[in-house]
Amino acid sequence: MVRLPYVTALTTLFSYGLLFAFGQLRDFVRRILDAGKSSNLKVGPAGRRGSGYAPICLGLEDFYTRRLYLRIQDCFGRPIASAPDAWFDVVERYSNDSNKTLHCTTKTSKCLNLGSYNYLGFAAADEYCTPRVIESLKKYSASTCSVRVDGGNTKLHIELEELVARFVGKPAAIVFGMGYVTNSAIIPALVGKGSLIISDSLNHNSIVNGARGSGATVRVFQHNNPAHLEEVLREQIAGGQPRTHRPWKKIIVIVEGIYSMEGELCKLPEIIAVCKKYKVYTYLDEAHSIGAVGKTGRGVCELLGVDPTDVDIMMGTFTKSFGSCGGYIAASKEIIDHLKHICPAHIYATSMSPPAVQQVISAIKVILGEDGSNRGAKKLAQIRENSNFFRSELQKMGFEVLGDNDSPVMPIMLYNPAKIPAFSRECLRQHVAVVTVAFPATPLLLARARICISASHSREDLIKGLEVISKVGDLVGIKYFPVEHEKTTSVEKTKKLQ
């Protein structure tokens, strides 16, 4: 949970207030000037045409883009010129117009990568995966140029679906070319009008859009709060559908395994217990947890001791732990067959790229030890050890770190909008690449840097990262809990002395 300090909340609000006021003032002056010119085809700020046309871009998010995001856009979307390994090459850019437009140079800077979702280190060349991926590229080419139900169904796709089902512990699976689409297209294929979706308040945008697009009624429960989930469920079951009060056709509860902006583990056992009590379906998005947690990499079910048969629909992506792209749904044979018959993303979208499929097959085989080595088990032990080491060191330094132990995602709270570019630029200058996330991906006041740890980080890498983050943290002033810091270090010291 966020422990936003009072003074920080005030200064953060004040900063946004100032940005907002000045932005509005500038927009106002701009409008007066534009009105003076009144040219018909003039494209004004944010592409507004002069007359006759309704503005395409409107609202707070547009304002935010122009008045905040554009000022710090050098901190986002930095071009990369290598694989997202423990270290990678970040392309240096320059601007001649105060960062309004950025141009790539031919120079790159080697940086410690603390931002990619490369949890198990499969995103870079791998002795087992890479040669097989290259073989599959030669054999099948980069694309099937066809949908699954036409010519886009290779032996690899069938093999992957069987392997995913076996890996996550479900009877059947279906794979898609994109993780985002797996949520946004599957949810409407499962529920529709007259159904009820109960969604965690911090669910990923792909779930939000899937839920909205489904036509089902959507109710939100407080983030990771099983008691509130139960309250919402009781209320909704008692009330039934709006106006008619007929019983809901189906009710489905959607949660994530690890929340990607919070680094927090789902309270899955408690949530499953509530869902079972009220006989409602469960949908679990394991984008960040599959492969990354659990003794054998099988995600939050394994980590938290939940039987996968208790989760009706298991969703996950191949874009994190497996170093590929695409997503999957694993469920009963009945559900998977149903999806294969009706899901537009299966019937109308080109199938997953064969080399990407091969990458996942090979990565899962390594995780399962079916490559004939123990590298998979080592990677799993390493990601856990790395994550817990990095998290506890950050906490000792006095940062406000969100999330749970074992989670490789650890947000460091920045809060103040001025601290977003300061932290990001200074880390980069010291060859540590970090990702910062702000509104609309997080609530306005809760901007943060998000560290993602990988099994491919060595202890030296992590120490280098910690040193830089600590220095920059002092400089930028984001060690919000320095008192605890002293306590813990002195405890550490006495421990060492004993």
Ligand X SMILES: *[C@@H]1O[C@H](CO)[C@@H](O)[C@H](O)[C@H]1NC(C)=O
Give the residues lining the site for ligand PLP (CB under 6 A): 178-180, 183, 204, 206, 256, 260, 285, 287-288, 317, 319, 327
**Closest distance between ligand PLP and the C-beta of residue 180, in Å?**
4
How many C-beta atoms lie closer than 10 Å to residue 309's C-beta?
A: 11
Q: Which does 321 bind (CB under 5 to 8 A by kind): ligand PLP, ligand X, none?
A: none
Residue 5, CA atoms < 13 Å, CB-side half-sphere: 14
Q: Does residue 425 belong to the site contacting ligand X (CB under 6 A)?
A: yes
Taking the C-alpha atoms of residue 151 and residue 228, their distance in angstroms, rounded to an integer, is 47
Site string for ligand X, 61-90 (x = CB under 6 A): ----------x--x----------------
In the complex with ligand X, the residue whose CB is nearer, 99 or 130, is 99
Of 100-129, binders to ligand X (CB under 6 A) are 103
Distance of CA 424 to the CA centre of its chain: 19
Q: Where are the alpha helices (DSSP H) in 215-277?
A: 226-239, 268-277
Helix %, strand %, coil % for the chain, to 5?
45, 15, 40
**CA proximity to 461, closest of 87, 109, 120, 88:** 87
| Closer CB to ligand X, 394 or 418, in the complex | 418
Distance of CA 274 to the CA centre of its chain: 26
Contacts with 443 (C-beta within 8 Å, 6 or more apart), sequence order: none
Interacting partner of 103 out of ligand PLP, ligand X, none (Cβ under 5 to 8 A depending on kind): ligand X
Nearer to ligand X among residue 425 and residue 485 (C-beta): 425
Least distance from ligand PLP to the Cβ atom of residue 12, Å? 25
User: Measured from the CB atom, is 63 or 180 closer to ligand PLP?
Assistant: 180
Instruction: Pick one of 15, 65, 82, 99: the residue that binds ligand X (CB under 6 A).
Output: 99
SS3 call for 30: helix
> Where on the phi/psi map is residue 436: left (φ > 0), alpha (ψ -120 to 50), or beta?
beta
- The one of ligand X, ligand PLP, none whose footprint includes residue 319, by CB under 5 to 8 A per kind, is ligand PLP
Whats the size of the chain, residue-wise?
A: 498
Q: Which helix (H) or strand (E) holds 21?
A: helix 6-37
- Partner that binds at residue 426, options ligand PLP, ligand X, none, CB closer than 5 to 8 Å by kind: none
**Residue 96 makes contact with ligand X by CB under 6 A:** yes
Contact range with ligand X by CB under 6 A, out of 93-101, 166-174, 305-313, 461-469: 93-101
Pick the piece of the chain touching ligand X (CB under 6 A) from 62-70, 92-100, 146-154, 408-416.
92-100
Residue 45 CB contacts under 8 Å (≥ 6 apart), including other chains: 27, 30, 66
Tokens of 204: 């990923």
CB of 109 to ligand X, least distance (A): 12
The footprint of ligand X (CB under 6 A) covers 71, 74, 95-96, 98-99, 103, 425
